[in-house]
Amino acid sequence: MRSTVTIFKKEFGGFFVSPIAYIVISIFLVLTGWFFFSTFFLYNQADLRNFFSLLPMTFSFVIPAVTMRLFSEEFNTGSYELLLTMPVSATDIVLGKFLAAVAFVAIMLLPTLSYGTFISFLGDLDPGPWIGGYVGALLLGGAFAAIGLFASSLTHNQIIAFIIGMAICFTLTLLDKMLIFLPEAVLGIFQFIGADTHFQNIARGILDSRDILYFLSISFVMLYGTHLAVLEKN
């Protein structure tokens, strides 16, 4: 547990040492801000629905960009050898890195709280979807961070890690929209696997245990996969 905290601190601090963190945060804020406010006044509604509906898309490429270096860089520079020969378990390493990525996503979302604050001056903002949206965003961010971490643990090339991570995240995001192409027999299962519906449910302010469970299980499965991949690396 102590080692997890140490790794977390190191990785979280590490994000802000390199310019990548600032670039990613800037891109994220510019994209979400522009997409959101360019249509906001046309709808003439005081809610954040547009912001949250786009979030799975933006997260799909922003989060893998955040997580791509977590393992790949260590494998590439060989620092993983130093890390692993200290008294830490692979579980500590995976968890510490995962929590650092989730904390980074939370930091990234922090400035967007101002959107809601700003809108609440213009009209009545329903707090339910607002809070729900951020809970969902964290769950979604956690799941995608786990996916990105898994992709990073597969290769020592950061670009490849980014592309794999992005591919998985995009697939999960777009799956619900592709359902019309699928035979009816497998429809249910693919509908459940798709991330978008689960997220939009929560973002509407409905905290359904199925949706929460979905994100938690994606995170768990991916973290477990990471753990296996890291062990297999030896």
Partner 1 sequence: MIRIENLTKHYGNVCAVDGISFEIRKGEILGLLGPNGAGKSTTLRILTGYIPPTAGNITVKDLDIHHQALEIKEMIGYLPEAAPIYPDMLVYDYLLFVADLRNLRRERKTGRIKELAGLCGLNEVMHKPIHELSKGYKQRVGLAHAMMSDPEILVLDEPTSGLDPNQIVEIRDIIREIGREKTVILSTHILSEAEATCDRVVIIHKGRIAADGTTDTLKESTGREYTVHISLQEEDFESIRKAFADLPEIDAPVLTDSHNGTLDFSLTCRTGKDLRPALYDIIRREGWNLLEFHRQTQTLESIFRQLTKEG
Residues making contact with partner 1 (CB under 8 A) = 2-3, 6-7, 9-10, 13-14, 17-18, 77-79, 81-82, 84-89, 234
Q: Which is nearer to partner 1, 14 or 33 (CB)?
A: 14
Dmax (CA) of the chain: 59
Q: Which is nearer to partner 1, 5 or 122 (CB)?
A: 5
| Burial (0-12, 13-18, 19+ Cβ within 10 Å), 26 | exposed
Phi, psi of 155, deg, nearest 5: -145, 160
Q: Which is nearer to partner 1, 204 or 233 (CB)?
A: 233
Q: Smallest Cα–Cα separation from 231: which of 127, 80, 96?
A: 80
Q: Could you identify the residue written with the tokens 């945060």?
A: 25
Q: Which is nearer to partner 1, 166 or 229 (CB)?
A: 229
Q: Min. distance of Cβ 87 from partner 1 in angstroms?
A: 4
Q: Min. distance of Cβ 70 from partner 1 in angstroms?
A: 12
Q: Min. distance of Cβ 71 from partner 1 in angstroms?
A: 13
Q: Min. distance of Cβ 74 from partner 1 in angstroms?
A: 8
Measure the CA–CA gap between 51 and 112, rounded to whole angstroms.
9
| Burial (0-12, 13-18, 19+ Cβ within 10 Å), 207 | middle
Q: Which is nearer to partner 1, 87 or 183 (CB)?
A: 87
Residues 6 or more apart whose CB falls under 8 angstroms from that of 96 comprise 3, 4, 5, 6, 7, 8, 10, 11
Q: Min. distance of Cβ 86 from partner 1 in angstroms?
A: 5
